[in-house]
Amino acid sequence: MTVTVYVLRSKQTGKRYVGITKCLPRRMEEHRRGTALSSRILGDFVVLMTETFPGYAAARDRERFLKSGQGRAYLDERFGRGLGV
């Protein structure tokens, strides 16, 4: 079983969302339809990155890192902050 960590950015606000899933196509559809709570906050979004891991533990560690201060700094450096960057 592979697990995917993904990062989305809202087209309206520039806010990022870091998530984890066992089925990326299903999860993206949930975000697009607005059935996920985060989708209501994000609205329209772009996928900034995805990373696939062979198991849940490694993926969860990466998700935690990306949500930490160092992880947010890494994402800022790689993708910029907010809209227009």
DSSP state of 79: H
Q: Which residue has the tokens 């947010």?
A: 72
Q: What are 14's two structure tokens?
A: 């520039």
Alpha-helical (H) ranges within the chain are 24-33, 37-42, 56-67, 69-79
- Phi/psi of residue 63, each to 5°? -60, -45
CATH 3.20.20.70 fits 3-79, yes or no: no
d(CA 72, CA 81): 9
Each domain of the chain, given as residue ranges in start order, spans 3-79
Q: What is the pLDDT of residues 34-63, one digit of tens each?
A: 887 877 778 899 999 999 999 999 999 999
- Report the pLDDT value the prediction gives residue 43, as an integer from 0 to 100: 87
